[in-house]
Structure 1
Amino acid sequence: MDPHPLLASLRLPPLEDPQCLEGTPVEQVLSQFLHLFATGAPTKASLVQDLGAILEAADCRWLLRDGPDYASFGLLGKALCQYAAPSQQGDPSCGDRGAAAIPVFCSILNKADEAKGTEGLGVQVANAILHQMAGPVFVFAVTHIVEQPWSNPRTRPKAQEVLQGLLRVSGCQSVPEFLRGAHDGQEGWFVEVMQYLKPELTKETWQRNPATKYVFASVLQQITRPWLSQHLENVLPPSLLLSDDYRVENKILGVQCLHHIIRNVPAADLCQFNRVQVVNHALSIHLYSKEAQVMQIVLLCILDLLPILEKASLRQSNDPPLVTPSDEVLQLVLTHMEAEHQLSLRRVYARSLPTFVERLGVQITRHLKRLQRVIVEYLEISDGPEETARLAILDTLKCTIQHAWPRMTYHLSVLLKALLRMMWDVTTDRSSTPEPVKEELLQRATECLLLLDHSTSGQVKVLLQGVYQHCQNDHLKEYLKKVQVEPAEILSPG
């Protein structure tokens, strides 16, 4: 058997006998490997393969006896993680490099797990190894587990084995438990993971490795309330950085990270140091986006941010503001809706409106004039077989009537005409719209008519008498008859 290049550099015999390593300190082996690895000679792939063979043949006591800081293991973990990291989105060699590094990580983790039951080593040795390698090993595993252009189908199961080995050594049953701690008061390994990721998440470095943003987002999603608040300073800047990128996929990922933070960090913590205003500014920029997929997640995120933003505004002033952040956002959304012709964006806007109305409650009366124009316009135009926008607008109208019913008399004529026109269009429609969708539209429009009738003291029933008598569409007459004979719904939204 030819000697391994790494063993040759150390002037050691081949590995037929594991005892051949006994006279050589492990730190010497690792430092020599790191030296050769940094120079790239003879080849990095063969060096990694050689180190894997050495560690596999090594005895647990030899590998872990030197301590106490085990700093060389941390350097090794970083070197291998960086070696296996993708350099571009579709890096074809990344999977092969990851496959070469997996045996090294598995051997060290297996030896660390074995050390917990070995006399003279114990759990403290395993924890010492984890403190040095938890960050790079976890990042390596997550990078190669996910199904991405740079990952390899052959190495994904092996990367899962690395992650399972890491959980086993740490005594954890799941990734969230590993990151946040298994028990109350016990610190997890999230700090170590973020310490390793932090240099890769700066404005100058985050785009060098396409896997970094996905690893960060994946780690962040695992930390929930109440654990996330203590790590806010570490996770907020990268999230803002991602959301500020010009590429759609990065915007979406960044806003998703911000949304997770908003949902899992107490409002009091977000309000400190003007953080909530910073997040609001970052999200408000996206309200002018023309990408429907970006707008969808931004509106969902802002809807959860608005209550926190309004609390912060109240703390700064004793008097309630005349115009709240919810008013400002809704005003902007309605302005965009009036001028929007892209169907995908119209659907996104329409789906968000009912929540805005529910959030504002009776204060929706401030926006009735513009909201009425939007409702009439969106009821006129079909948006395809699913009629997503029309259905959402009917829900919006229903919520609006329930909250602002004393004002409906002034808007009755316009809204009644818009509803009847839409119902006529639906009953005479010969397009590909499924019949269940048409029936849903007619049913929701009928509910709105009943609410309008109740809020205007029966005026709708009076106005529809002539329409019902002269209507020659039997299908439409069925729904008009419901308005005539059925009692109206209770107006209270609760």
Structure 2
Amino acid sequence: MDVAHILQKMKIGDAADSCCSAFRRIHERLELEAAPEEQAFILGETAELLSLAPLHWLFPEVNADLQGQYLGLVNSFTRYAALPLCDTDSGTLPAKSYEDIPAKAQAVSAVLLALSAQIQKALEHQNRPDIRSLVRTLAPSFCIFSVTHLQEQPWSSAASRNSARELLTSAVALTGSRSVQELLSGEPEEGQKGLLGPVLDTLQPELTKESWKRNQAVKHVFSWMLVQVERPCLTEYLEKVFPTSLLISDDYRTENKVLGVHCLHHIVLNVPAADLRQFNRAQVLYHALFSHLHTSEAILIQIVLPCLLDLLSILEKPLVSSGLPRKRNRFDNVLRHILTYMEMEHKLDLRRVYAKNLVLFIERMGIVIIRHLKRLERVIVGYLEVSDAPEEKARLSILDALQKTLQIAWPRMEKRMGSLAQSLLRFLVDISSESLPTPLKEQLMSQASHCLLLLDHCSKGKLQTLLRELDSSCLPEPVLKCIQKITAAPLCP
């Protein structure tokens, strides 16, 4: 079947002499046609046309006019599978609103893959600069459409995700890139720019304060694209990605806050500290993140605390160069806030998150943790008393935090030996009688025993003396074995 025949079937046979006029007519018909069945027919016939048309007809001389026709045609295809807009403040629609999107996305992917295959053939046969220019023009639209339907969301199915993944792979191949990361980042050493800039420019109208919630996919596309680009390339786009990430994180919905903080953490990790400090960006980000610490959502706290910890390392000078006496800074403010909330918290999921991240703060702060020992001791004792079975993640983390504290702040720990030793011994007795899996029970008792051993070193052997005075007849056998190991350990010089 030749080009003229296909165009006649599409009722645009008089345009067979020029691909530019044919594409214009196809574009017009697709935009004006209201019936979904007719639109699907046009897409199918266009895919066939692109597959069968000779290269000299598709790419005679790719001037600005023809590039514009191709781009307009591709954009009209992607609009066919666009998500319905949401006009509510929630930014979400019922899943049934997207039930016809996967099939539409597959149809569009088929057309774009047919076009991509023909462009690839043209590059292999001729490798003309005008065709390479066409690739650069179309690639951002290919990427945005692919990523929109690539992720597991209510508007995608397994089949549509596979088609989108195939299209993205095709876009990577067309540009001569070796990976999606290279496609978006480019090759700075070779002076080759990536596609992240054009992609962000295309997305920008949908990422304003007034519009970003209307299309539920756009925030996910932005986030996915952003995290593919790392240092040093991301710095170039800081002015475009930082405000948008901050905007998403400032929403009232937890899922949007989490997504926004995820983007911000990627920026913190992949942009030089000097650029983040410029124009008070880091200070603005600190206040935005600190405000999230008042939430009771464990999923948000879990992503905010590591981000805040990495940001504080940018805002505050390294401890080695801060001099003595060391002034209180934002590390102290954040840790004080965390410890206050830890003392009051009764939700097990939040206790696990806090305990896990407490270890990181202790490691990062170093010896200045001694400023917080009084409150830290109360938190540790309190967390050891409350089980979070079956995995006991909170108590494992709090034992890790205690070990780090004993190792770092050992000169100040002797005076706290009494309360900590009592708490650890009570913990050992409780664990020995609880019905936990044997490997977990052994891990908990081993960590508690190690804490007692460190505490003995801090007290210069005084704890061993006290442990030898315990009435062994009152102790369970597993606890007695732990105590015997501690008392048999050699004293530190």
TM-score by length of 1: 0.89
The letter of the residue matching 1:109 is S
Q: Tell me the CA shift for residue 137 of structure 1.
A: 0.9
SS in 2 for 1:206: coil
Match for residue 455 of structure 1?
Answer: 458
- Alpha-carbon separation, structure 2, partners of 1:258 and 1:320: 33
Aligned twin of 2:290:
284
Aligned residue number for residue 420 of structure 2: 415
| Residue 403 (structure 1) shift | 1.5
Could you say which residue in structure 1 is the equivalent of 2:87? none
CA contact (8 A) 2:305 2:357 kept: yes
Q: How many angstroms apart in 2 are the aligned matches of 1:440 and 1:211?
A: 44
| Structure 1 residue 468: Cα displacement | 4.6
Q: Tell me if structure 2 keeps the 8 A contact 1:180–1:223.
A: yes
Q: CA deviation at 1:470?
A: 5.0
User: In 2, distance between residues paired with 1:348 and 1:187?
Assistant: 40
Change (3 A) 1:77 1:311: farther
| Aligned-residue identity in percent | 41
- Alpha-carbon distance change, 412 to 476 in structure 1, aligned in 2, over 3 angstroms: same
Larger mean Cα displacement after TM superposition, 294-303 or 143-152 = 143-152
Q: CA deviation at 1:3?
A: 7.4
- 2:399/2:448 contact within 8 Å kept: yes
Gaps of 5+ in 1: 13-19
CA contact (8 A) 2:10 2:42 kept: no
How far is 1:340 from its partner?
A: 0.3
Change (3 A) 1:86 1:314: farther
**2:225 is equivalent to residue 219 of structure 1:** yes
Q: How many residues align?
A: 476
- SS of 1:289's equivalent in the other structure is coil
Deviations 1:418-454 (A, max 9, x none): 111111111222x3x2122222122111111111111
Does 1:425 pair with 2:430? Answer: yes
- State the partner residue of 1:64: 59
What is the rounded CA distance, in whole Å, between the counterparts of 1:9 and 1:266 in structure 2?
57
Change (3 A) 1:84 1:373: same
Normalised by the length of structure 2, the TM-score is: 0.89
SS at 1:467 equivalent: coil
SS of the equivalent of 2:364 reads helix
Partner of 2:246: 240
Match of 1:10 in 2: 12
1:6–1:51 Cα contact (<8 Å) kept: no
Counterpart selection for 1:309 from 301, 311, 315: 315
1:79-478 alignment, distance < 5 Å: 79-87=76-84, 88=93, 90=95, 91-119=98-126, 122-182=127-187, 184=189, 185-311=191-317, 322-429=327-434, 431=435, 433-469=436-472, 471-478=474-481
Residue among 470, 479, 483 paired with 1:480: 483
Shift of 1:55: 2.5
Q: Deviations over 1:36-80 (max 9, x none)?
A: 333335643333333333323322222222432211222222222
Q: In structure 2, what is the Cα distance between the partners aligned to 1:489 and 1:457? A: 7
8 A contact 1:145–1:156 mirrored in 2:
yes
Q: 1:268 to 1:166 in 2, by over 3 A?
A: same
**1:85–1:211: 8 Å Cα contact kept in structure 2?**
no
Q: Which residue of 1 aligns with 2:90?
A: none
Q: CA RMSD in A?
A: 2.7
Superposed CA deviations along residues 220-274 of structure 1, whole A, max 9, x for unmatched, are 1211111111111122122112222222222222111111111111111111111
In structure 1, C-alpha distance between the alignment counterparts of 2:123 and 2:13, rounded to whole Å: 32
The answer as to whether partners of 2:6 and 2:49 remain within 8 angstroms in 1 is no
Mapped contact 2:362–2:405 kept (Cα < 8 A): yes
